[in-house]
Structure 1
Amino acid sequence: MNKKIHLKVNTDIDATTEILSWFEQINQPPLPDQKIWWKCQTLLMEGFANIVEHAHKDLPVETPIELEVVRLIEHIEIRIWCLGLAFDLEKQLQITPELIDNFLERGRGLKIMSSIADELTYLPTDDHRYCLFCKIKY
Structure 2
Amino acid sequence: MESLTKTYTDLDRAINEVRSLSEEWPASSEIVTLDDETLHCTCLVLHEWIANLHQHARFQKNTPMVKIQLTCEAGRVACFVLDNSDGFDLTSYLPADDEDLEPFPERGMGLRIIETCTDELSYAPTEDGLHCFEFIIPADHDPWMNTLF
With the length of structure 2 as denominator, give the TM-score of the two structures.
Answer: 0.75
Whichever structure has more helix as a proportion of its residues is 1
Q: How many residues align?
A: 134
Q: Which amino acid aligns with 2:128?
A: D
Offset at residue 23 of structure 1 (A): 5.2
CA offsets, 1:11-57, max 9 Å, x none?
42243233334553332456453222211111111111112222246
Q: Which moved more, 1:31-40 or 1:45-54?
A: 31-40
Which residue pairs with 2:25 in the alignment?
26
CA contact (8 A) 2:48 2:111 kept: yes
- Greater radius of gyration (CA): 2
The answer on whether the counterparts of 2:42 and 2:137 sit within 8 Å (CA) in structure 1 is yes
Instruction: State the partner residue of 1:114.
Output: 115
Aligned equivalents of 1:31, 1:58: Cα separation in 2 = 40
1:88 aligns to what?
A: 89
**TM-superposition CA deviations, 1:74-129 (whole Å, max 9, x none):** 2101111112224111121037973x62331x421111100110111001111111
Instruction: Give the secondary-structure state (helix, strand or coil) at the position aligned to 1:93.
Output: coil
Give the alignment's Cα RMSD to 1 decimal.
2.5
Q: Distance in 2 between matches of 1:36 and 1:89?
A: 23
**Overall identity of the aligned pairs, in %:** 22
In 2, Cα distance between equivalents of 1:86 and 1:129: 8
Listed as ranges, the gaps of 5+ residues in structure 1 are none
| 2:71 is the counterpart of 1:64 | no
| Structure 2 CA distance for aligned equivalents of residues 63 and 86 of structure 1 | 12
Moved more, 81-90 or 18-27: 18-27
Secondary structure of residue in 2 paired with 1:37: helix
Which whole-Å CA distance do the structure 2 matches of 1:24 and 1:59 have between them? Answer: 34
Distance in 2, matches of 1:115 and 1:49, equals 17
